[in-house]
Amino acid sequence: MARFTYKSVRRDGKHLESELETPDEGSAIRQIQKQDLIPIRVRRAGGLGDRTGRRPHHTLTTKEIALFTRELSTLLESGLTLGRSLRILIRLSSEERIVRALKMLQEQVRGGATFAADLEGQAG
């Protein structure tokens, strides 16, 4: 059995962070979903994760963009709106530059721009 940490969201938008022991990541995701939670991030516990390689500047790494995209996709597929999904991701993020980027996207979408156009306009 391996220990996994996870971040998840309830249907009402409240988030939960916890750990569980399962044979693999797929089993962890299924256990989280059985609790009527939407898994956002599941990682093997004890790994270096986001604690290394932090970048001081404003551009996001390819890994961060991929993670954000996967998390956003999960929330949208569960039926949440784009605005609510962005709010949840902002609350879940512990990295200030990611929060800033998400808030900027959120404001531009609120201002009437399309999400795709906002992403294209982001440098880095």
CATH no., domain 55-124: 1.20.81.30
pLDDT tens digits, one per residue of 48-91: 343 434 444 456 788 888 888 899 999 999 999 888 999 999 99
d(C-alpha 80, C-alpha 73), whole Å? 10
Q: Looking at residue 53, what is its pLDDT?
A: 40
Query: Strand order in 2-9's β-sheet?
Result: 15-22, 2-9, 38-44
- How many Å is the Cα radius of gyration of the chain? 15
* Among the listed residues 5, 4, 7, 31, the one whose alpha carbon sits nearest the alpha carbon of residue 90: 7
H or E segment and range at residue 50 = none
Matching CATH number, 1-47, of 3.30.70, 3.40.390, 2.60.40, 3.10.20: 3.10.20
pLDDT at residue 77 in the model: 92
pLDDT of residue 57: 47
Q: Which of 2-6, 97-101, 120-124 has the highest mean pLDDT?
A: 2-6
- For the chain, what are the domain ranges? 1-47, 55-124
d(CA 121, CA 124): 9
